[in-house]
Amino acid sequence: MTERLYYDQTYLTKFSAEVTAVREKDGKTEITLNQSAFYPTSGGQPYDTGVIGGAKVEDVYVAPDGEVRHVIDGKLNAGDAVDCEIDWARRFDHMQQHAGEHMLAGAVYRLYGGNTIGLHLGADMSTIDVTMPDGSTHLTEEQIYALEMDVNEQIHQDVPIKCWFPDEEELNALPLRKAPTVKEHVRIVAIGDKEMVACGGTHPSSAGQIGMVKIVDARPAKGKMRLGFVCGMRAFKDYQMRMKVSDQSAEMFSTKVEKLPEAIARMQENISALQRELNALRREQALQQVAGLMENAKEIGGAKLVCGTLPALTPDALRELASGLIEKGGVIALLASPKDGGGYLTLFARSADVSCDVGKLLRQASTACGGKGGGKPDFAQGSAPTDEVIMKAAELLAE
């Protein structure tokens, strides 16, 4: 069985070992070593990468028989003596994220009674899923701020991080945040005097090495509350990115960073006012066009067929125009209006004294033209990639 060196020698990056077994699986070479400092994927923490005997390590996992298996890009033989080196940047990043997760999960439990049930250390952001005692899936800004302050104050104090295998008597007396998921070889991680839980992962020797913990996302996920966070160098790089973006944005608005929300609010107000003016102009233009459509309307089945493509209108404005066309009686209106971003709004309507089913007509024409939509016999709405749906509907009516 592989001796797992990472339990007691977290900072070990180079070591020698003997290849104890080799096998091929799915076109890849898998080896076991008599001892290994490579961390295998488990507990939400990804595997270590690096080099074994000159071969790149592509994966490390624990097999059902308990052996640590290393997937390598190369060929080695059983009995080979190999020099091994771990990718320290990746390992230390995972150590920072994992220890930060412990502290964050501990703070959620102490402050709000939330139980962490899942951890994922992602390449850019890590997440924990939390069940709250009241079933809530949100935290307020004040609650998030309190969590961050609690964790980062301990980091600034550089509280110690201790990892060990207690005997059964000691284990039963420990104030663990939650019960261990295994019964044998239980490893405990304690951070300062506020966090203690069973964990087999790798962690720094003190909280100060985490650097900082920053919550960057909080949202519901599968009925739970999911907190996204970054630690250490990830948090520093996140701060750099956000500062660069905010500085550039402030420069664009000719204001200070702290005044950005006000500047953006003013811009949104101006855009809304301009949009209202534009909608009014488009409606006026559409009204003028509608008059021409009525003059050129064709007779079909005793009703006037008014069809055409109007300027870009809001759905409400398009419905208003259609209602105005059919209120006088004896009218079938087939209208389209371009949408922002491409495609067309479609609206079919008919007067109360006309027997045509425009809902069925819109569905048939839309299907033929790659669009969609439907509605009642007297009023239907939809969308289509082009305004050809109008011509198609007119053809169907003529048939």
Please indicate, yes or no, if residue 255 is contained in any of the structural domains. Answer: no
Question: Quick count: other Cβ atoms within 10 Å of Cβ 104?
Answer: 25
| Beta strands per DSSP E along 28-114 | 28-33, 35-36, 50-52, 55-62, 68-73, 81-86
Give yes or no for a contact between 101 and 141, defined as CB atoms under 8 angstroms apart: no
What average pLDDT does the chain have?
93
Please indicate, yes or no, if residue 152 is contained in any of the structural domains. Answer: yes
For the record, the structure tokens of 63 come out as: 């097999």
Strand partners, 373: 382
Tokens 């104030």 belong to: 175
Strand partners, 304: 299, 331
Indicate whether 105 and 246 sit together in one domain.
yes
For residues 103-124, average pLDDT = 94
pLDDT at 292: 76
Indicate whether 97 and 246 sit together in one domain.
yes
Indicate whether 114 and 75 sit together in one domain.
no
Give yes or no for a contact between 188 and 197, defined as CB atoms under 8 angstroms apart: yes
| Burial (0-12, 13-18, 19+ Cβ within 10 Å), 1 | exposed
46 vs 121: CA distance, rounded Å: 7
Dihedral sign for Cα atoms in the order 296, 300, 305, 307? negative
pLDDT at 111 over 80: yes
Strand partners, 176: none
Instruction: With cut-offs at 50, 70 and 90, classify the pLDDT of residue 338.
Output: very high
Please indicate, yes or no, if residue 75 is contained in any of the structural domains. Answer: yes
- Taking only the tens place, the pLDDT of each residue in 217-265 is 999 999 999 999 999 999 999 999 999 999 999 999 999 999 999 999 9
Residues with Cβ within 8 Å of residue 274, at least 6 apart in sequence: none
Q: Which of 250, 265, 282 is the last residue before a domain boundary?
A: 250
Indicate whether 99 and 246 sit together in one domain.
yes
Indicate whether 102 and 244 sit together in one domain.
yes
Give yes or no for a contact between 346 and 384, defined as CB atoms under 8 angstroms apart: yes
Give residue 151's domain range: 92-250
CA distances (Å), 190 to each of 245, 340, 355, in order? 38, 56, 78
Total structural domains within the chain: 3
Q: Which of 86, 112, 134 is the last residue before a domain boundary?
A: 86
Please indicate, yes or no, if residue 259 is contained in any of the structural domains. Answer: no
Strand, coil or helix: 214 = strand
Question: Quick count: other Cβ atoms within 10 Å of Cβ 7?
Answer: 17
Give yes or no for a contact between 304 and 332, defined as CB atoms under 8 angstroms apart: yes
Please indicate, yes or no, if residue 269 is contained in any of the structural domains. Answer: no
> How do 28-33 and 14-25 pair as beta strands?
antiparallel
Write the CATH number for 26: 2.40.30.130
Tokens 């420990």 belong to: 174
Percent above pLDDT 90 for the chain: 80
Indicate whether 304 and 350 sit together in one domain.
yes
Indicate whether 212 and 153 sit together in one domain.
yes
Question: Quick count: other Cβ atoms within 10 Å of Cβ 132?
Answer: 16
pLDDT at 80: 96
pLDDT at 318: 86
Indicate whether 81 and 132 sit together in one domain.
no
pLDDT at 21: 96
Strand partners, 384: 344
- Taking only the tens place, the pLDDT of each residue in 380-392 is 999 999 999 999 9
pLDDT at 148: 97
- Taking only the tens place, the pLDDT of each residue in 157-169 is 999 999 999 999 9
Please indicate, yes or no, if residue 368 is contained in any of the structural domains. Answer: yes
Please indicate, yes or no, if residue 267 is contained in any of the structural domains. Answer: no
Please indicate, yes or no, if residue 187 is contained in any of the structural domains. Answer: yes
Question: Quick count: other Cβ atoms within 10 Å of Cβ 182?
Answer: 9
- Taking only the tens place, the pLDDT of each residue in 38-92 is 999 998 899 999 999 999 999 999 999 999 999 999 999 999 999 999 999 999 9
pLDDT at 82: 97
pLDDT at 118: 87
Indicate whether 225 and 292 sit together in one domain.
no
Write the CATH number for 319: 3.10.310.40
- Taking only the tens place, the pLDDT of each residue in 171-190 is 999 999 999 988 888 999 99
Q: Is the whole-model pTM more than 0.85?
A: no
